[in-house]
Structure 1
C-alpha cells in the first residue's frame, strides 16, 4: 500500500485504495466467492484464445491435460487473479499446480507449469501490456520453474515466462542465496527489504509464576524447613506447564530446580521476531533500540557501527529503491546477510549480491565449523551413545552464504578433511587431515544439498565429494575410517568401483528443487509416513561426484541411510526457526523419515543453533519446545503478529502446520505442544473470534491442522 501511494506521488497513473484493508479486500476477496477462486478475478481468458497464443501448448498439455486445465479455471476459460488500479495491476501469482495431489508430489520431477501459470505471465506482458513487473516479496514460484540451473535457454520455463519483461524483485536482505537464483533464472533486479524487528522472548503467565517460585528457592538458606513444600509447589507448577512430570516426587530437588532455572533463562533470553516488517515504514525508536541491543549482544559491534545502523534504519530506503528500479535507474549493490551479524546490509533498498565462491569456506568458518562439529559429537555422546559412525547432514545455500561456509566446514571436520587452496588463495579441492591430528575416526557423512546450494556452490559441491572420495580411498584401518569401511562394504556387496561407493553428496536432479515433503504435508493428502520417505528419496537421490555431474543413485542412497545414526542441520537466523518455515522439515525432516524407514528404528535429530555466541546443539524435540514456548504460545510473539492483521493469521497457521510436519517426519514433538496450541488459538473463545475476523480461511486452517494432529495421533 505504501508503494502504491509513493508511485502516485511520483506521477504514476495509479489510484490506490484508501486503506490497506481496502487494498486487501479488492485483491484477495472482491468477486472471489462468485467465481469460486482464491482471490479476486481480474480477467478471464477463453480456452480457445489461450490455445491459439500458447506456443508451448503440447508440453503443458502433456503434463496437465487439455486447456484450460483444472487450476483457476471454470472449464472453458482461465482466471487471472488480482485487481487493477489505474495503470498498476496487482496480481496473485498462481500456485505450482500439484498441491493436493499426493501421487504427483511423490513422483513429479517437473516439466511444465500449469495453463494458469503461463496464462498469468502472458496476460501481464501482452494483455495488460506491462512495462515492468515487480515481484513483491521473496519465495515466488517463477524462479523455481523447470529448466537449466544457469545459462537458461529457449527450452527453460523461467526464461519463456518472463521473456524480455523487465523484472524487479523485492527481496529480504538476509537471503542472498535465493535472490541469486532469481537473478540467474529470471533476470531479476533485486531491491532489499529489512527483516522484522527482534526482541527477547521474556516470560508470561505460568512461566512468570514458576520463575518467582524458583527465585524463592534459590534464596533459601541451607536446611530451610520450607524447602520441601516449596519443591513440591515448583514441581506442581512445572508439571502444569508440561516442563516435568507430576510424579514421582523429585528425589533430587536441587538438581531438578537447577535444570528448570536454566530452561527458563534460555526461554526468557531467546531472541524472537516481533511482528512483520512493513515496506515504507521504518522500525520505530523502540524497535530500533531492541535491534541495536541484539546486534551488540550477538556480534559485539562497536558503538560507531551501532550508531550508524540506528540512523540508517530510521529512514525509509526501500520505497525510494523500488521507485529507482521501476524508473530503470542504477541500484547500488550490497552483500546479503543477517542484520544481527552483518550490519553492512544497511541501508536496505539496494541490489543484493552474494559472495566470492573461491574463498568459501573462510578461515573463520573452518574454525567455527570444526567447533560446532565437536559440539554435535559431544551432545550425541553425552546421551549415552557411542561416537557416531555415520551422520546425515543437511546443507543449504542460504546458511552457508550467510556464514561464509560454516556448515560446509562442519561436514569437512566430521570427515577429517579440509579445503585445498591454490597459490592465489582460490578453492581448488579437498585434502585429508592426518588421523594423528584428527584424534578420532573419520565419520561418514551423508550430505543432502538444497537445490540452491547445488546451483550456487558447484565448487563446494565438488570439494565435498572429493573429501568423501579421499577418505574412502585412504589406506587406513576400517576402525579409524568409517567412510572407507562403509564404501568398501558397499563396493564388495554391489560389485561397483570405489568412486561410486564413495558418493556421499546428494541433491535433486538438475533444474529441480525441494523434496516435496512440505507440499505433501500442506496438502494433508498422504496416507502414512512412508509416503514422505518415498517423496524424499525419489527427489533427493541424485549423487554428485568429483566432476559435479549428477547420477541417479537410489540404491546407494538407501544403503547409506541405513547406516546413519543421527541427522543434523544448522539454524543460522533468529527470524526463521524450524517451525517458522516448511523448508526445515522438508529437508531435515525428510531425511529423518527416510533414515527411520531404512534403519527400522527412531533416529536422533539435532539442530545446531548458530544464531548467538558460540552456538549450541539441541535435540529437535528441545528445539520445537523452545520455539513453541518462546513464539507460538507467547503473547509477545502473537500480539506482535496480529497487529498486522490478515497475513499474520496465516503465519500462525504456518507455525502449526510446520509443527505437524515435524511430527510426521520425525515423531519428535511432544503431545503437550498441540494441546497448548489448541488452548491458545482454538479453545479460547476471544482469540478464536479474533483470528476468524482477521482471516477466516487461515483460522479454519489452524483448527483443521490441530484436528489432523489428533487424528494422526500426534
Structure 2
C-alpha cells in the first residue's frame, strides 16, 4: 500500500527525510499516519505548509558571538544539529573560548559539495579566521583527484585540525589499543589526510543514552570528552600563537634523532644529510627574522656537529661534559603530579618515581643540545634500553624514562618552543607504546609531545612511517626528495673481469690459441673476487670457477654465461650516489641521473623514456622489463654496433648505451652543454611529439627542479603558522612522478581499496615464480613459508605482499564492480591451482597492524578458508595441521600498542652470545596472534609451532631507492624471523629475498645473493664511497650504519660471505684516503667500525681475517680514540 503513494508525495517525503530534524520528522509522521491507520493517502495535507521542509542554510553559522580573541573556524555536520546531538559541539566551543579564541562555527552537510565549499571559504575568509577545526569525516576531494590540489583548503591557506569522534563508547576505547575502529580510522583519519588535516584527539564518544526495548534499538549520542577537547584547544591556541608572534620572538626547536646512542650516529635521517639540512633551516630562520643569537653560529654541517659534540650527548662516554641545560626536579614533579594515575603507574613500574630515576642528577634532568638564540638544536633522548637490564632488551612495550619526558617538558615550558621540528626519518617519539591513533593521556607519544605545532621533514617514499608521525605525533609532514640515484656501473676488479670476458669472446672467434690463457686469467680473477655460486638454468649444482679449465666446453660456457649475467646485474644496479639536503637541488649530474631513474619507469600508460628511445632506434629488446643479462638478438647487436656501441651482447649493453644517450638528451632539455645525441634521437627530440618525451620535458623536469624551492617555501609557511599543502607519497622511480615536487604534507592510501587488482597481479606472479624456483632448486614443492609484511610497503604498493600470501594459500580476492574494492575471497580449486597449497605464517609490523585492520581480517579469513578444506595432507599442509592440532593462528605481531622486532637494542648492546638468543628476542617481541578484529592474544607456543616447519623466510622489497643494508628493519624482521625459525626447531630454513621494484621484472633469490650484490654494487663502489665523502659526518655515519646492518644480518642468518668483511676492511678502513676521511669527519664511526670488525672476528662471523688486518684494526681503534680525545671533528 505504501508503494502506491503519488510521486509528488513521495518526493516531498524524501525532501523532509533528507533535511532531517524534529520539525521535519513530525511532518513525515503526520503525512504517513493515514497509511498506518487506514492505508489511505491523506487528503487534507497542504503541500505549501504541511509538506514543505524546514530548511537549514548550508553552511549555517552556529553560536557566533561578539567577542575578543583570534577567530578560528569550526566545521560541524548539520546532521548533529538536526538530531539535537549538540552537547559536545557546545562544549567544544566553550573550551576554545576558554583559551581566548573566538570560534566561528558552521553547520555543513558535506565538504564534497562545491557550493558548500565556496560558502565555507567565503564565510571564514570574511571573518579572518586564523585556523580551522574540522569535525567532518571524509575529504573535500575524491582520492583520485587529491593530487591535483584541494581548492577549499588551498584557498584558505590555514592549518586544519581534525577532531575525532569515536563511534564506540569510552569504555570500549579504554579497553583497546586500536584507538579507532576500522571505519572511523578510514573516514576520520585516512581520508581527511588527503586534505592535509592534522590528526588530534578524540573529542567525543558515542554512548548509549536510552535502551528502550520498544524502539528495538539503543539511542546513542556523542558525549564530550574533556581531555580530548582540552588537548585540541591547547593545540589550536599554539598554532594561533605561532601565527601571530613576530618572527623575531618566535622560538623553534630542531630535534635530531640518535640511535644507536653513540656519538658517531647522531642526526639520523634516512636519505637525508641531516646536519646540512639543519644548516639550511638555520639560514631560512635567519632570513625570516628569527633571532639566532650573536654568538658563534655554525655555518657548515661539520661545524654544527663539532659544536653539538663538544657538549654532552646521549653517548655515555660524554657524561663528563656539560649538558645544554637541566630541568630541575621540582619543575618536573609539578608536571608529573598532573598526569593521570594510569600514566604515572606505567612509568613507575619500570623506572620508579622521578626521585628514584637513575638519570636524575643533582641539578635535575640533563638536556642535550645546542642553543642558538631562540633556536634550540636538541638531541632526542634515548628510549632508555638498559644493557644491564636484559629484560629491557626483550620488552616490546618499554615506556619512556623520566629524562626522555623531562627534555620534552623543557622544550615546552622552559624554552617556550612554538614550532617543534623533528628533522629526518625518523625519531622515536611517535613509536612509544600506546594506542595506534586517538591517543589517551597515558599513551607514550601523548606524554612526550606537547600540543605544540610539529613539522617533520620526511622522505617522500615512506608514507607508512610518516603516517605514524601524523597520527600519533600530530605532525605535519614536510616531505623531501629521495637521495640522488644512479647506475652502479663497474669498478676495480669488476671492470677487469668485464674486459677479460670481452677479450675472451673475441678470442674465441679469431684467436683460439689465446683462449686457454684467458680462461686461466678469468679463473684466477674469479677466485680473487670470491665470486658467488650462481643458480643454473638447469637443476645441476653451480660450477666452481676454480675447476672450469678442466671441464668440457659446455660446462665452461655455462659458467661464463652465469658470470657475465651477474656482472650485467651488478653494472645496472641502482644505488644512492649521495644524500639529499633539505631545500637544495642535487648537483647537475646527480640531478640528471635522478631524473633518468624516474623517467625510465613507465607511468600512467606512458612508456619509460629509454623504452621510447629503444623503439626510435629500432631495438627489439625492452630496456625496462628484460633481464640485464639476457642475450641481445642479432638484429639488436648489429643496430647497436652501427651506433658505436662496443661489443654489445647482452641487454645491459643496450641499457648502458640508452642511458648515456638519455643523459645527453636531458642536458639539452635543461639547457646545459651536452655531447651530441645520435642523429635518430636528435631528430626525435626536435620533432617533439612522443608522449614519453613530452612527459619528460613538460612534467618530470619541472617537477624535479621545483623540489628545492618547494621544500623551503613549505618550511617557511609552517613557521608563519600557515598550511603545508597536501600531496601524494610513494617511490618516484616506481612510476610515481606525481609525488613531485616535494615539500608537501603527504598522505598515504585509501585502506578500503587494498589489495588492488594490480597488487594481486604482481603478488600472484611473484608467488608462481617463487614456487617454480623452489621446485627447481630443491626438487620438491614448497609447503611452509614465513613472510614479513610492513605498513609502509603496503601503502606504497597497494598490498602486494598480502596478495602474494593469498596466491600461495590458493585463494583469490573478489572486487566490487563500481568501486573496485575487495569484498570477498574465494578458494582456487586444486584442479586450477595445479600444485599444493602453501602454509604461510605472517609477521606483520606494528604499523601494518595499526594502519590495515581490514587486511588483518582478510588474512584470517583466508587462513580459515584454507584450513577448513577437505583436501589431503600433501595437497594442503595447513588443513593437515588444523585437523591434527585444531585451529591455527597465522598472523603474528608485536604486543598491542608496541612496535619493532626486538633485535636492534640487543645487537647494539652486544648482550648476546649466539644466534639462538637473537631468535629468542624475535620470539619475545612477535608472539602475539591477532584475530579478525585485531584483538591480540599472547601465543608464543602458536608462533613457535608455525615457524618450526618453515622452509623459506621471505622478504619482499618494492623499490630500489634504498637497499637491505640501508635500514635496520630488514635484518630485524627478515634476519630475526630466520633466527626464530632455527630457535623454534627448524633446521632447513632458507632466507630468500624478492625484488619487486619493477612490476614487469620480478627477481627472487637467496638472501646471500642479495647481500653479495649490495656489497659489490654499493658498499665497495667508489661512486658511493666518494658520494658519502661529500657529506662529511653524515656520510661517515651512513657507512658505519651499513656495516652494522651487514653484521646484524650475518649474526641472525649466517648469510654474509666471509670475504665481505675483509673487502670492507681493506677498502674502507685500511685505504688511506677513506681512512683519513673517516678520521677527520667522524672518528667515532671509524672506531665503531673497527670495533665491529673485531667483534665479527671474535664471534667467528669473519672467520678468516689475516693477523695483519686485525693488528691494523686494533691500531685504528687507538687512533680514533686519540682523535676523539683531542676534540673529535675537523671543521
Answer whether TM exceeds 0.5 for this pair.
yes
Please give the secondary structure, in 2, of the residue aligned with 1:160: helix
Please give the secondary structure, in 2, of the residue aligned with 1:220: helix
Please give the secondary structure, in 2, of the residue aligned with 1:623: helix
CA contact (8 A) 1:96 1:141 kept: yes
CA contact (8 A) 2:311 2:318 kept: no
- 1:263 paired with 2:566, answer yes
1:224 Cα deviation after fit: 0.8
- 1:365 paired with 2:756, answer no
1:602 Cα deviation after fit: 4.2
1:76 Cα deviation after fit: 5.6
- 1:248 paired with 2:547, answer yes
Distance change (3 Å), C-alpha of 1:186 and 1:259:
same
Rounded Cα–Cα distance in structure 2 between residues aligned with 1:34 and 1:713: 28
Rounded Cα–Cα distance in structure 1 between residues aligned with 2:365 and 2:565: 57
Please give the secondary structure, in 1, of the residue aligned with 2:965: coil
1:12-161 matches, within 5 Å, as: 12-15=290-293, 16-30=297-311, 36-37=318-319, 41-55=323-337, 56=339, 57-67=344-354, 74=361, 77-98=364-385, 100-101=387-388, 103-161=390-448
1:489 Cα deviation after fit: 2.1
Rounded Cα–Cα distance in structure 2 between residues aligned with 1:69 and 1:80: 18
CA contact (8 A) 1:105 1:535 kept: no
Rounded Cα–Cα distance in structure 1 between residues aligned with 2:320 and 2:1046: 25
The equivalent of 1:664 in structure 2 is 1051
The equivalent of 2:693 in structure 1 is 303
1:192 Cα deviation after fit: 0.4
The equivalent of 1:323 in structure 2 is 716
CA contact (8 A) 1:178 1:398 kept: yes
The equivalent of 1:463 in structure 2 is 858
CA contact (8 A) 2:478 2:715 kept: yes
- Matching residue within 893, 907, 914 for 1:521: 907
Rounded Cα–Cα distance in structure 1 between residues aligned with 2:972 and 2:386: 14
1:428 Cα deviation after fit: 3.5
Deviations 1:667-687 (A, max 9, x none): 111100111111112222442
Please give the secondary structure, in 1, of the residue aligned with 2:778: coil
Rounded Cα–Cα distance in structure 1 between residues aligned with 2:489 and 2:461: 25
Please give the secondary structure, in 1, of the residue aligned with 2:836: coil
Shifted more, 180-189 versus 684-693: the winner is: 684-693
The equivalent of 2:500 in structure 1 is 213
The equivalent of 2:627 in structure 1 is none
Distance change (3 Å), C-alpha of 1:659 and 1:31:
closer
1:52 Cα deviation after fit: 4.0
- Matching residue within 416, 429, 433 for 2:828: 433
Rounded Cα–Cα distance in structure 1 between residues aligned with 2:389 and 2:521: 49
Shifted more, 235-244 versus 624-633: the winner is: 235-244
Rounded Cα–Cα distance in structure 2 between residues aligned with 1:701 and 1:677: 14
- Matching residue within 501, 511, 516 for 1:228: 516
Please give the secondary structure, in 2, of the residue aligned with 1:151: coil
CA contact (8 A) 1:357 1:457 kept: yes
1:376-387 matches, within 5 Å, as: 376-387=770-781
Rounded Cα–Cα distance in structure 1 between residues aligned with 2:492 and 2:875: 52
Rounded Cα–Cα distance in structure 1 between residues aligned with 2:917 and 2:1095: 17
Rounded Cα–Cα distance in structure 2 between residues aligned with 1:384 and 1:699: 43
Rounded Cα–Cα distance in structure 1 between residues aligned with 2:358 and 2:431: 18
- Matching residue within 882, 906, 927 for 1:487: 882
Rounded Cα–Cα distance in structure 2 between residues aligned with 1:102 and 1:227: 63
1:27 Cα deviation after fit: 2.2
1:183-202 matches, within 5 Å, as: 183-202=470-489
The equivalent of 1:239 in structure 2 is 527
Distance change (3 Å), C-alpha of 1:194 and 1:350:
same
Distance change (3 Å), C-alpha of 1:606 and 1:24:
same
Please give the secondary structure, in 1, of the residue aligned with 2:718: helix
The equivalent of 1:414 in structure 2 is 808
1:275 Cα deviation after fit: 1.1
1:414 Cα deviation after fit: 0.4
Distance change (3 Å), C-alpha of 1:168 and 1:490:
same
Instruction: Indicate the RMSD between aligned Cα atoms, in angstroms.
Output: 2.1
Rounded Cα–Cα distance in structure 1 between residues aligned with 2:410 and 2:760: 49
Rounded Cα–Cα distance in structure 1 between residues aligned with 2:322 and 2:518: 60
1:313-352 matches, within 5 Å, as: 313-315=704-706, 316=708, 317-341=710-734, 342-352=736-746
1:335 Cα deviation after fit: 1.4
- Matching residue within 609, 617, 622 for 2:1009: 622
- Matching residue within 927, 936, 939 for 1:550: 936
The equivalent of 1:8 in structure 2 is 286
CA contact (8 A) 1:429 1:462 kept: no
Rounded Cα–Cα distance in structure 2 between residues aligned with 1:444 and 1:713: 34
1:479 Cα deviation after fit: 2.1
- List gaps (5 residues or longer) in structure 1: 492-497
CA contact (8 A) 2:585 2:591 kept: no
Shifted more, 62-71 versus 446-455: the winner is: 62-71
1:150 Cα deviation after fit: 1.7
1:75 Cα deviation after fit: 6.2
Rounded Cα–Cα distance in structure 1 between residues aligned with 2:695 and 2:324: 48
The equivalent of 1:398 in structure 2 is 792
- Matching residue within 829, 836, 842 for 1:447: 842
CA contact (8 A) 1:649 1:698 kept: yes
Q: TM-score when scaled to structure 2?
A: 0.60
Please give the secondary structure, in 2, of the residue aligned with 1:599: coil
Rounded Cα–Cα distance in structure 2 between residues aligned with 1:38 and 1:114: 21
Q: Please tell me whether Structure 1 or Structure 2 has the larger radius of gyration of its CA atoms.
A: 2
Deviations 1:284-314 (A, max 9, x none): 3312221222223333443333222222222
The equivalent of 1:494 in structure 2 is none
The equivalent of 1:509 in structure 2 is 895
Rounded Cα–Cα distance in structure 1 between residues aligned with 2:322 and 2:823: 53
CA contact (8 A) 1:39 1:92 kept: no
Q: TM-score when scaled to structure 1?
A: 0.95
1:437 Cα deviation after fit: 2.2
1:260 Cα deviation after fit: 1.1
CA contact (8 A) 2:385 2:393 kept: no
Please give the secondary structure, in 1, of the residue aligned with 2:595: helix
Please give the secondary structure, in 2, of the residue aligned with 1:221: helix
CA contact (8 A) 1:273 1:574 kept: no
CA contact (8 A) 1:102 1:520 kept: no
* Count of aligned pairs: 705
Distance change (3 Å), C-alpha of 1:354 and 1:20:
same
User: Which structure is richer in relative contact order (CA contacts within 8 A, separation 6 or more)?
Assistant: 1
- List gaps (5 residues or longer) in structure 2: 1-278, 533-543, 609-691, 1102-1131
